[in-house]
Amino acid sequence: MTYSMTPKNFRRAAVAGGAGFIGSLLCETLLSVGVDVICIDNLVTGSLGNISDLHRHTNFEFRHHDVIDPILIDVDAIFNLACPASPTHYQRDPIKTLKTNVQGSINLLDVARETGARILQASTSEIYGDPLEHPQAESYWGNVNPIGPRASYDEGKRCAETLFFEYHRQYGVKAKVVRIFNTYGPRMSRDDGRVIPKFIRQALNGETITIYGDGSQTRSFCYVDDLVQGLIRMMDSDDDLIGPINLGNPSELTISALAGRIIELAGSRSRIAFSPLPTDDPRRRRPDIGAALRELGWSPSVGLNEGLRRTIACFAAEPAALLEA
């Protein structure tokens, strides 16, 4: 993937969570336009395999580090993607998830404060919770259960947004906040529990595809290449654009329709079965991306069918042992 322009406001960037699904592609894209990149990851959910090809770049550096601990880096831009995004992963250690979102943000914001670097928080559509407004615009404050099983992630991300805005107001930090809606593509972990990799793995193996609830709940899925373009545009935007800005694909469909589409595109004979809906799982999710279009000139360009074809092809090319994870 290539980016359409060389960033004008930064030349040396740190990507926290840079060995993850989104972070590794972000690192790769930044390198392609000549940006020096420091990839920071504790490898809890990230993978060295995701960044193995990046070491050929002389302007790439990997640091095995947990953002919960302070770090010294000399950069002019910091992308904070350092948190597991899958419920399967972030619910394994909810205290760690909270610390990553809160203390990790504080540590990176302190670096930005000391160095004058601009810093972007990869927030999430989960801050809207199970929304009572549809589609979700940035002005909506959300409907989040602060003590439920998803709260370590949802409330952790909400607190991180507060930290970014307070560091901007109190210390003049060049902060930026984006809210990422469901994103998919190659390099997703096969066993992370999110719906697209789970359905693809089940379809390729000819297993029954399991849908939580009755399948009528909706999501809007953005291909990862499009998302990375939005992240870079936001980081490279004028200092007075802080956000939050929604980044996602406004094309909405039901989970049942998604399952049917993956079965068809994978050429699978899998059947569909239903199981109980997890606690606090949102019923509807679709971003209002008017601000992204207006402020960044950004909107997604990869349609769902094309994005799924690319993702299925990458999954199918993996060794069978990975698909059985």
Number of domains in the chain: 1
Encode pLDDT of 101-134 as tens digits.
999 999 999 999 999 999 999 999 999 999 999 9
- For the chain, what is the total number of helices (H) and then of strands (E)? 10, 13
Domain assignment of residue 4, yes or no = no
**For position 282, what pLDDT does the model report?**
81
Count the Cβ atoms, other than its own, within 10 Å of residue 142: 16
Domain assignment of residue 5, yes or no = no
Catalytically annotated residue among 3, 90, 128, 153:
153
> Region 87-97: what's the mean pLDDT?
86
> Region 187-203: what's the mean pLDDT?
88
> Region 277-302: what's the mean pLDDT?
92
Domain assignment of residue 6, yes or no = no
**For position 30, what pLDDT does the model report?**
97
Mean pLDDT is lowest, of 87-91, 118-122, 301-305, for 87-91
pLDDT at 90 exceeding the cut of 50: yes
**What CA–CA distance (Å, rounded) separates 292 from 132?**
22
**For position 6, what pLDDT does the model report?**
83
Domain assignment of residue 7, yes or no = no
3 is catalytic: no
Enumerate the H helices of the chain as residue ranges.
21-32, 87-90, 94-115, 151-171, 195-204, 224-235, 255-266, 290-296, 304-316, 320-323
**For position 84, what pLDDT does the model report?**
83
Q: Which is nearest to 232 in space by CA: 16, 9, 19, 62?
A: 9
- 146 band by pLDDT with thresholds 50, 70 and 90: very high
CB crowding 219-258: b at 16 or more within 10 Å, else e: bbbbbbbbbbbbbbbbbbbeeeebbbbbbbbbebebbbeb
**For position 88, what pLDDT does the model report?**
78
Phi, psi of 18 (to 5 degrees): -75, -10
**Torsion 4-7-11-17 (CA) sign:** negative
**CA–CA distances in Å: residue 216 to residues 175, 269, 282, 308:** 37, 22, 11, 20
Encode pLDDT of 56-80 as tens digits.
999 999 999 999 999 999 999 999 9
Domain assignment of residue 2, yes or no = no
pLDDT at 157 exceeding the cut of 50: yes
Mean pLDDT is lowest, of 102-116, 163-177, 266-280, for 266-280
- 320 band by pLDDT with thresholds 50, 70 and 90: low
> Region 238-266: what's the mean pLDDT?
96
Its domain, for residue 206, covers 12-323
pLDDT at 24 exceeding the cut of 60: yes
**What CA–CA distance (Å, rounded) separates 292 from 98?**
28
**For position 3, what pLDDT does the model report?**
54
**For position 321, what pLDDT does the model report?**
43
Tokens of 128: 């809207």
Domain assignment of residue 220, yes or no = yes
pLDDT at 319 exceeding the cut of 70: no
Domain assignment of residue 125, yes or no = yes
Q: Is 281 helix (H, G, I), strand (E, B) or coil?
A: coil
Tokens of 119: 């810093």
**What CA–CA distance (Å, rounded) separates 218 from 78?**
33
> Region 29-37: what's the mean pLDDT?
96
Domain assignment of residue 292, yes or no = yes
Q: CATH code at 299?
A: 3.40.50.720
**For position 324, what pLDDT does the model report?**
53
pLDDT at 190 exceeding the cut of 90: no
